[in-house]
Amino acid sequence: MVFFDYPDKLPDSYVGFWGPVTATIDWCEENYILSPYIAEVVNSFTNFAFVALAIYHLYSTYKNQFGGLYVYISLGFASVGIGSFLFHMTLLYEYQLMDELPMVYVTALPFGYIFSWNQPPVKRYLWRIGTFVVTALFTYIYIFVHRDPTIHQIFYAILNFGVIYKTIKTIHSVVTDPASRKTLYKMLVLAVSLFIFGFFIWNMDFVLCSQLTDVRRNILGLPLGVFTEGHGWWHIFTGLGVYYFIIYNQILSTWMSGRQDSYKLVWHGIFAEVQLQKEKDE
* Residues that constitute the known binding site for Ca(2+): 26-27, 29, 31, 40
Q: CA 199 → CA 96, 179, 204, 216, 228, distances in Å?
A: 19, 30, 9, 21, 14
CA-CA distance, 175 to 260, in Å (whole number)?
9
User: Which residue numbers belong to the known binding site for Zn(2+)?
Assistant: 88, 231, 235
Q: What is the CA radius of gyration of the chain?
A: 21
| Whole-Å CA distances, 8 to 11, 157, 215, 233 | 9, 39, 15, 24
In a 3-state reduction of DSSP, which class is residue 263?
strand
> First CA to last CA across the chain, in angstroms?
64
Q: Specify the DSSP element, H or E, that contains 149.
A: helix 149-174
Binding residues are: 26-27, 29, 31, 40, 88, 231, 235
Residue type, 178: P
The per-residue DSSP string of 215-258 comes to HIIIII-BTGGGGG-HHHHHHHHHHHHHHHHHHHHHHHHHHHTT
Distance CA 91, CA 43 (A): 11
Nearest-CA neighbor of 198 among 162, 155, 163, 244?
244
| 8-state DSSP, 276 | E
